């Protein structure tokens, strides 16, 4: 996706038509980036308060590592608990050889891993597009900061 976008941006830039370039960047940012963001928000794994808490610490000049850990802890704990619960459900379902329960537990695990993957994809897209486009929306930048801090933690 990023390679295609980069090729289109180069083509528009070479044509010298700033209108095409502006329109391409604007539409891409709106359609692709915000669609991904809406999907991540809809998953319900975090709320705006948690995002604001992490961003506040991240942007605080004299913030300590313990402040960052404290800001991340509620969201990380919840995600870790969901992941461990799904793993336990899968293990129990396999022991009972309960195919519907196995499928349900596998789907829960896949959804959590997909959420993590989508955070990484959004972060990469945001990083790329923010170099050429001013989003003019702090909510998008806040989420990029939040995902960047949440992503390296275990699933």
Q: What is the pLDDT of residues 114-128, one digit of tens each?
A: 888 888 888 888 888
125 within 8 A of 32, measured Cβ to Cβ: yes
Q: How far apart are CA 56 and CA 71, in angstroms?
A: 9
pLDDT, one tens digit per residue, over 61-74 is 999 999 999 999 99
pLDDT, one tens digit per residue, over 27-50 is 554 444 555 677 888 888 888 899
Retrieve residue 37's tokens: 């963001």
Within 10 A of 110 (CB to CB), how many other CB atoms are there? 12
Q: What is the mean pLDDT of residues 88-102?
A: 93
Within 10 A of 105 (CB to CB), how many other CB atoms are there? 21
What is the pTM for the complete model shown? 0.72
- The full length of the chain comes to 155
Give the pLDDT score at 108.
Answer: 93
């Amino acid at each position: 996706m990023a390679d295609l976008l980069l090729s289109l941006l180069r083509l528009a830039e070479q044509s010298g038509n700033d209108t095409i370039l502006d329109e391409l960047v604007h539409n891409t940012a709106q359609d692709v980036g915000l669609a991904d963001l809406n999907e991540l928000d809809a998953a319900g794994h975090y709320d705006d308060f948690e995002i604001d808490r992490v961003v506040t610490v991240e942007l605080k000049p004299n913030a300590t590592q313990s402040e960052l850990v404290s800001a991340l802890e509620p969201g990380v704990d919840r995600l870790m608990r969901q992941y461990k619960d799904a793993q336990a459900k899968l293990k129990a379902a396999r022991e009972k050889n309960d195919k519907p329960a196995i499928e349900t537990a596998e789907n829960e695990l896949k959804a959590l891993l997909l959420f993590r993957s989508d955070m990484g994809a959004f972060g990469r897209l945001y990083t790329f597009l923010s170099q050429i486009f001013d989003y003019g929306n702090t909510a998008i930048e806040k989420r990029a900061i939040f995902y960047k801090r949440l992503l390296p933690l275990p699933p």
